[in-house]
Amino acid sequence: MSEAELPQNAKSSGVKPSDTLSTPAVPRHVAIIMDGNGRWAAARGLPRVEGHRRGVEALRRTIRAAGEIGIKVITIFSFSSENWSRPAAEVGELMGLLRRFIRNDLAELHKSGVRVRVIGEREGLEADIGRLLIEAEELTKDNTGLTLVVAFNYGARQEIARAARRAAEAVAQGRLKPEDVTVETIGGLLDSADLPDPDLIIRTSGEQRLSNFLLWQSAYSELVFVPTNWPDFDRAVLESAIREYQQRERRFGGLTAKTGS
Ligand code: FPP
């Protein structure tokens, strides 16, 4: 990522809200299901991996745009628990892209104030990938700009099951009473415990489902589905999804509209 491409919200003075979006209603947390890489490649007669490679470029554009727009947290679904069922060569390519993304972009992300967080199951990952994820989180943990949450080897049901298991262990050890296992207890045991729930979830490529992404955290998220395949995603598409979000009335189960961000 070149200097010119970096997110602008590294320092609060550097925030450059979009000219076309009203700042107060910019969602605080946007989560994205980056779908359609394979279809993008197939439509051009290219191998699927080329779609993933171009997807990394779209990711760089999106991180920069999110910072400029004033989004505080962006979560990206980069590898799901179910993606292991793809052909080994494609899994290998996706692992390689993550390695290269962290090795090539981490220093610049850090310099621009981005805080990297990773959610998902760490066990079973190749050792060097585990180390890179820890390095990215450690290096950037005190940054105060955009928080980039990388959902990697992530599945929402697995995340909820891990939280339930931790609660059960605490009960078994007498550190927690069964009646104290509440929504807050489980929420506090999720990988995302320190993060706000997403205000807006965007899925690209026209598919309309959550596919085991942030199932707990999306209870009151607004969902926007865009036809664009992920490699073509850019600031204009992001802004158009945010404008759709801004038309929605969020009531969080009540009767009156509330601002979610
Ligand atoms: C969905 O497209 C996309 C993925 C399974 C992987 C997303 C990965 C990237 C954008 C690049 C790697 C990310 C990082 C952080 C380095 P698909 O393959 O399911 O597309 P299709 O539905 O058209 O086949």
The residues near 219 (Cβ < 8 Å, ≥ 6 apart) are: 197
Q: Are 160 and 190 in contact (CB under 8 A)?
A: yes
Q: What is the pTM of this model?
A: 0.90
What's the confidence (pLDDT) of residue 255?
Answer: 80
Distance CA 108, CA 213 (A): 28
Candidate of 1, 33, 35 to mutate for ligand 1, largest count of ligand atoms within 8 Å of Cβ:
35
What's the confidence (pLDDT) of residue 252?
Answer: 86
99 Cα: distance to centroid of ligand 1 (angstroms): 15
Domains and CATH numbers, the chain: 25-155+196-246 (3.40.1180.10)
Q: Are 143 and 191 in contact (CB under 8 A)?
A: no
Pocket of ligand 1, beta carbon within 6 A: 34-39, 52, 55-56, 59, 78, 83, 94, 97-98, 101, 150, 205, 230
What's the confidence (pLDDT) of residue 7?
Answer: 37
Q: Is 201 in a helix, a strand, or coil?
A: strand
Helices 88-111 & 48-69 angle (0-180, nearest 10): 30
What's the confidence (pLDDT) of residue 24?
Answer: 53
What's the confidence (pLDDT) of residue 259?
Answer: 58
Ranges under pLDDT 50 in the chain: 1-17, 260
